[in-house]
Structure 1
Amino acid sequence: MFPGMEENEFDLVGELDRTLKALGLSRDGAVSELVVRGQDPLVPSTIRLGSAMGIALLSAAVGAAQIWESATGRPQRLGLDLGQAMHQLTPYLGGGNTLNGYGSNMGSVLGLGGGLAPALWDLYRTADDRWAIPIACYPSTRDAFLDMLGTAHTREHIGAAVARRISWELEEEAADRGVPLAIIRSREEFLAHPQGRAVLDEPLVAVERVGDAPPRPLPAGAQPLSGLRSLQFTHVFAGTAAGRVLAEQGADVLHVCEPNAFDHDLCWNETGVGLRSARLALDSGGDGRRAFEELLRTADVFMHNHRAGKMSRLGLSPEECAEISPGIIHVSVRAYGHSGPWRDRGGFDQHAQALTGVNWSERRDGRPQLPPGRMLNDYLAAYLVAAGVMSAVLRRAQEGGSYRVRVSLAGVSNWAYQLGTFTPEQVERLLPATPLAPAERLTRATPLGELSLVAPPVTLSETPPAWRGPLLVPRGSSQPRWLDDESS
């Protein structure tokens, strides 16, 4: 037996089956063989990163296989290397997408002086010896953050300003100003926090019927989701990446952004693979809103990751969408949960880590850390969302109805933590001597140049990932029409 193996026993397939059962999915009849290679730790982390990503990836793959088997009667063989799964968890382990050999333009908000901007992923010590992580990754939030501190945009100035502030006061003022910032908590503090208790009360992926509608047949075509239409009102990572997962299995995914909405090339070039993208003004009551509602009426899925207040102002709650489009599957991704005092507070992947105790678990020499590759929750959430959508597609075909699917980054982070953690000593003892293998890649010509991207890591024997049209288009460059409508 490998030294330490007895302390590293983890039943990934058993945990996968428990996750599938909670989603309303099953391998039975749909998956004839499942082969998983590798085990954690794959990188120096106390969190089971590879296993968490593997379960999320396989949940979506099983959903696709189940739809395929229901439509054709043919099961699939699935395979996954957890080392390759790590490159799908985060693009910052050397597997990020490139265009014509270059990474995405970081701009002056994400990048500064040839490196990362100081208000992006840096940890700052407060006056009461806590740690704050601000992520002011938009021009508006960067300006609001610097105005709140009354300081310049350098690490030294920000560090000095944060060092004069009490942690909890800083966190609450940032929330009041719309600045995404979280104080890093221990696991015990998370469990005792009102938002922690709310997260614990929510399912990892909620799939709930919210209205009546006739059954809709399962998608029919060369892939499990051929003919499925997903309308994405999403930004940054998790929500848009969930559309990317649907597109890999044949869905027509149309991303909608408002005319003046800001987003980064980095985010779109990573998550917008397989999507088309149109600009529409949703709040004007004019042509843009009418075009959007026509798309919504003929969509199978509507997905967003905006705050609840904005969606209410736009009249796009699950119930309102179901009234416009009976049978719709309404998907909501939030930072901290769909209940509790922080339910409408904005935040990012790393803030969910901070709340749930992940960064404290990763600490070295008393200083909390981000996991290797910095990200944990965005792509986990994307694949779990996709699995939830596929569960709703199957239910809708059998019993009809409109559905909502809800996931939060904090819920995902808590789930990943609950898979079990290593001590730093265990990580050092169990970590393989050989580094993580490079990511397997695909290269395709696109209107933006030659795209090199991480290959989807799950192998499906009958329906390997395939896309309709270019893999990447400029954000906002598509007509607001479904592909089948364009070709008719």
Structure 2
Amino acid sequence: MIEAEIAAVWRQVSGETLPSGAIGVTGSESVLPGPFRVAAAAAASIGVATHAAAELLRFRGIEAPPVEVDLRHAAAAFHSERHLRVDGQVPGEPWAPLTGDYLATDGWVRLHCNYPRHVSAVCWGLGTAATREAVTEAVAKRRAREVQEAVVAAGGAAALMRTREDWLSHPQGEAVAGQPLVDLRQTGDAPPKRLFESHRPLGGVRVLELTHVIAGPVAGRVLAAHGADVLHLGAAHLPRLDPLWMDTGLGKRSAFTDLTQDAGRARLRKLLTKADVFVQSFRPGALARWGFSPEELADEFPGLITLDLSAYGTHGPWRTRRGFDSLVQMASGIAAHAGLDQPRPLPAQALDHATGWLAAATVMTALRRAAADGGGWRGQVALAHTAEWLESLGRREDTTTGYEAGDLLAKLPSPYGELTYVPVPGAAPQWTEGTRLPGTDRPSW
């Protein structure tokens, strides 16, 4: 059954028919708990990305190994941040103390407070101190919608818990329902892209990554595992979630630049002139204020492949709203699958991880098309679109067995210490060194 769902996703990503038996699946969906088919989504998103890498190898004239997805390994990959260790120790809690679910007078609302500006938005919007007790008290006096809108208006990130029916009748839910899981289309004419000789699917391919948190960084990590030269571009003045960076930064170089300054924008423009791929997770329209809208990128950098990740997509009233995996689960009805008495999240940051793998598959498919036929290409994925896809997979009886990941884990030295991590399924030999310190490298190719 999972094989049929993988074939359907491959058609959405590539427009192609998946040959029978092209992707093998082993194991049981019971490795992850809950009624949602998270393990199936993990196998499907990982399977299509791995198949996209195999197709690139075949395009290079290299025989590709069989694509096999083990559900236990897929589950571990979707829990990669939980399995990470530094010198055998948990590297820290990735979630800030104020992040969490709060009970209002008429329901639940989730506040995302992992960045200082989000904490400030909660305090400003609700007129409260930055303690769990104070925020709990402030929320308890208000309606959930009032809390959500006050925090969002102050520049923060929040979502009230909705039923599935409420989401489908909401203007943003209606907008999301009309969009595909993956949108890949040609942006302009350009000569066929030259792939440098390599035994790796993405050997010689330059990927510029402007992403944060999980989904975008997972996409870059997968591309690096298949041989790409991935340069993550951040900024020294912006906050970082170090445990997540240690997990998703494997195989990448890291540099800083400041896009609020002319020099920083000039540096980005120079990097894009030699990049093959640009992966970014700014909110829709955010880069346009600096001259890097999709139209401007297509005109100035013909042949560039861009991949845009967002929370709610590029259509609807929430297209520019800040969003994260847990917030989309609340908004879309996933967290309310068992009723409104208490939020019940997915057993993994599944929307983030699946979207990241789908993004990587889209990039590799676009590269193959660009190498064969030329042109610039733009792919779009969104957490809310992934949530709709997960819903479409149906539900399962919760017969959880769990899994052990010990024999799957690998180790690499890094500036942080020895990293224990989950290797990317289906990619070999992966990386030669662990995650680098942020800003270690020069912003150049």
TM range (shorter): over 0.9
- 1:48–1:421 contact (8 Å) kept in structure 2: yes
1:321 deviates by 1.6
Deviations 1:141-175 (A, max 9, x none): 11221232222334332222111111222222222
- 1:353–1:376 contact (8 Å) kept in structure 2: no
CA distance in 2, matches of 1:33, 1:181: 41
Secondary structure at the counterpart of residue 290 of structure 1: helix
Amino acid aligned to 2:305: I
- 1:230–1:303 contact (8 Å) kept in structure 2: yes
- Percent of aligned pairs with the same amino acid: 33
- The alignment's C-alpha RMSD in Å is 2.0
Moved more, 233-242 or 55-64: 233-242
TM-score by length of 2: 0.95
CA distance in 2, matches of 1:219, 1:80: 28
Moved more, 234-243 or 46-55: 234-243
- 2:10–2:18 contact (8 Å) kept in structure 1: no
Which residues in structure 2 correspond to 1:98-177 (within 5 Å)? 98-106=85-93, 110-111=95-96, 117=97, 119-120=98-99, 122-128=100-106, 130-177=107-154
TM-score by length of 1: 0.86
CA distance in 2, matches of 1:292, 1:406: 21
Q: Tell me which of 400, 403, 408 is aligned to 1:431.
A: 400
Partner of 1:390: 364
Deviations 1:385-412 (A, max 9, x none): 0011111111112221111111111111
Which residues in structure 2 correspond to 1:79-478 (within 5 Å)? 79-91=68-80, 95-106=82-93, 110-111=95-96, 117=97, 119-120=98-99, 122-128=100-106, 130-286=107-263, 288-362=264-338, 366-373=341-348, 375-422=349-396, 426-427=397-398, 430-432=399-401, 435-439=402-406, 440-456=408-424, 458-459=425-426, 464-467=428-431, 469-478=432-441
1:75 deviates by 3.4
Secondary structure at the counterpart of residue 446 of structure 1: coil
1:210 deviates by 1.4
1:123 deviates by 1.5
- 1:378–1:409 contact (8 Å) kept in structure 2: yes
Residue 16 (str. 1) matches residue 3 (str. 2): no
CA distance in 2, matches of 1:282, 1:14: 44
Partner of 2:60: 71
Amino acid aligned to 1:356: S
CA distance in 2, matches of 1:455, 1:137: 26
Amino acid aligned to 1:100: D
Deviations 1:321-373 (A, max 9, x none): 2233210111111111111000000010011111221101155x932211224
CA distance in 2, matches of 1:166, 1:289: 42
CA distance in 1, matches of 2:74, 2:321: 30
CA distance in 2, matches of 1:73, 1:362: 49
CA distance in 2, matches of 1:330, 1:34: 27
Secondary structure at the counterpart of residue 350 of structure 2: coil
Secondary structure at the counterpart of residue 72 of structure 1: coil
CA distance in 1, matches of 2:22, 2:378: 31
Moved more, 249-258 or 31-40: 31-40
Number of corresponding residues: 444
CA distance in 2, matches of 1:231, 1:34: 29
Amino acid aligned to 1:381: T
Secondary structure at the counterpart of residue 410 of structure 2: strand
1:421 deviates by 1.5
Partner of 1:46: 35
- Could you tell me which runs of 5 or more consecutive residues in structure 1 were left unpaired when the two chains were aligned: 1-10, 112-116, 483-488
- 1:204–1:412 contact (8 Å) kept in structure 2: yes
1:60 deviates by 0.4
Residue 34 (str. 1) matches residue 26 (str. 2): no
